[in-house]
Structure 1
Amino acid sequence: MLKTLDYTTTIAGGGHWSIRMARGTAMRLTDLNGTGNVGMLFYNPENLLERYNAPDTLKCQHTFKLNKGHCLYSDMGRIFASIVEDSLGWHDTVCGNSTPSMTEQRWGKRDYQHDRNHWHQNGHDAFLVELAKYGLTLADMAANVNWFSKVVADDSGVLSLSPNHSVAGSQLTLRFEMDTLVMLHTCPHPLDMRTDDYPAQPVKIELGLAEPVQEDDFCKNFRPENQRGFQNNALYYLGR
């Protein structure tokens, strides 16, 4: 829930971006054309060793998917952000990134030197570019979220991407509970098996202040574990 709308931008398909979000701000993502994917990572800008922890996020909230009410945990037991709005009800955080080899295999080899803005970027390299801006390297890349993507398992445990899960206009809003360095890309999901054209879909990003957290907050009370996460945040900011 955006209390104010202070900044808007659009990230082209196959692009990447990063920004420092302050505690108490919000970010709304919109899949403009449908079938989009947004890979995202979170770091504590005051201590870059603290970063998003996908296993703890899923384990402590007893879930395989992310949706409204879920919180995004750091490896220190604190909450980077809460999902306060979500029109889809399912987002992936287990499958990681597309790589240079899989991107070339599915959509052909293209590089920026020869193809300029028509090249085929992959999620792995997109994150490396953003990490380098803050002195981080491959060793600092954690398991990421893939917003707008639904991954399901068959009876044999084989994972697959649900086609057409996200329609044009699908949205979600993150409320930041900590100062957070956000890194993102709009490269294809690693399980995207479309081979006709490189699936580059733009995503709109809107930033502003969030509505204050109340005692009856949906995310805070979604799980008992989330209440402890909010307490850890309060202790971290005690006296500031």
Structure 2
Amino acid sequence: MPSNPPVDLAPVPHPLWETVIPAGTHWSGVLRRGVALRIVDLEGGANLAAVFYRQEDPLERYNMADTLKAQHTAHLTRGHVLYSDMGRVFASITADTVGWHDAFGGVGDARLFERKYGVARYQAHRNAMLRNGRDSLLLELAKHGLGTRDLVANVNFFSKLAPGDDGSLAFVANHSRAGDAVDLRFEMNTLAAFSTAPHPLDPTDAYQPKPVKLVAYRAYPSDGAVPSDDPCRAHCAENERGFINTDRLFV
């Protein structure tokens, strides 16, 4: 399945805040309706595992299956949106220099990472400890009163899996370059949790996670709404219905 060709991103207008998630660590926070987040691969080869929840009611959370089937796709790029399990839109991908983001590769757990990379615990290695994606996301969710049962299928930004004729999935190395970025425009008040741990299907023997930069900026007023001709809203009929469902929360 071809991906969209890369495009240059316009400079971020009036950043609200920015931070760097160091390699192999994690972050969480609330992104308000109308705020956009630019996610930047600083060194190339990053993987950012991400999960999303409605801030006011975290029982509503990102739904991978609905996101893909509603938009008739097996990967994510500009023009696509991220759906909740209530048929509403968490965020829209408004810009993207990569062209393909993995939607179903999941995250690695402690057993997988120990088998691939060995063990490096905090007691001996301090901040150089080895962190896996699943535990990283769970640590962030715990800060917001959520736990194991709340962990859902995630998005892996900057990563690509290529399907084989037999249905197998192969990790595509060097997919994202230094400076590549994707913009997420949030359409609901959203709790996001991120991990920069390596992709679970990355065949590299060495533990080599990469840092990711986050830059937040205002995309539109929180009491506004995107117009009907917005590329993400107009991408397909399902997206128009998703935006209508979302807008009704803020009437």
TM range (shorter): over 0.9
Corresponding residue of 1:40: 50
Q: Is the 1:4–1:210 contact (alpha carbons within 8 Å) kept by the matching residues of 2?
A: no
- The TM-score normalised by the length of structure 1 is 0.96
User: What is the alpha-carbon root mean square deviation over aligned residues?
Assistant: 1.1
Provide the residue aligned with 2:196 in structure 1: 186
Alignment-mate amino acid for residue 203 of structure 1: V
Match of 2:110 in 1: 100
SS for the counterpart of 1:236 is: helix
Are the equivalent residues in 2 in contact too, given 1:34–1:201 (CA < 8 A)?
yes
Correspondence for 2:174:
164
SS at match of 2:111: helix
What amino acid maps onto 1:110 in structure 2?
A: A
1:15 lines up with 2:28 in the alignment? no
The residue type equivalent to 1:180 in the other structure is T
Measure the CA separation in 2 of the matches of 1:46 and 1:215.
Answer: 26
Aligned partners of 1:177 and 1:73: how far apart in 2?
10
Q: In the alignment, what sits opposite 2:228?
A: 215
Q: Name 1:149's counterpart in structure 2.
A: 159
For 1:218 and 1:4, the matched residues in 2 are separated by: 23
Letter in 1 for 2:232: C
Q: Any idea what the Cα deviations from partners look like across 1:134-184, whole Å, max 9, x if unmatched?
A: 111100000000000001110110111101000111100000000000110
**Maintained 8 Å contact 1:188/1:200:** yes
CA distance in 2: counterparts of 1:7 and 1:113, whole angstroms: 33
Gaps of 5+ in 2: 1-9
Equivalent residue for 1:4, pick from 14, 19, 31: 14
Which structure 1 residue ranges, 4+ long, deviate > 2 Å from structure 2? 1-4, 211-215
- Find the counterpart in structure 1 of residue 239 from structure 2: 226
Conserved 8 A contact 1:31-1:166: yes
- Which of the numbers 150, 159, 178 marks the counterpart of 1:140? 150
Instruction: Report how far residue 211 of structure 1 moved.
Output: 4.4
Tell me the SS of whatever aligns to 2:248: helix
**Mapped partners of 2:58, 2:94: distance in 1:** 25
Cα deviations by residue, 1:204-233 (Å, 9 ceiling, x for unpaired): 110110146233211111111110000001
| Aligned counterparts of 2:209 and 2:150: Cα–Cα separation in 1 | 26
Mapped contact 1:3–1:211 kept (Cα < 8 A): no
User: Secondary structure at the residue paired with 2:69?
Assistant: helix
1:206 aligns to what?
A: 215
- Which segments of 5 or more consecutive residues in structure 1 lack a partner in the other structure? none
Write the distance in 2 (CA, Å) between the matches of 1:42 and 1:138: 14
Give the whole-Å Cα distance in 2 for the aligned partners of 1:203 and 1:18: 13
Q: Deviations over 1:33-78 (max 9, x none)?
A: 1010000010011111000000000010000000000000000000
Secondary structure in 2 aligned to 1:27? Answer: strand
Q: How is 1:87-126 mapped onto 2 (pairs within 5 angstroms)?
A: 87-126=97-136
Task: Give the secondary-structure state (helix, strand or coil) at the position aligned to 2:107.
Answer: coil
Note the C-alpha offset of 1:130.
0.7
Instruction: Indicate the larger mover: 56-65 or 99-108.
Output: 99-108
Aligned AA (1:228)? R
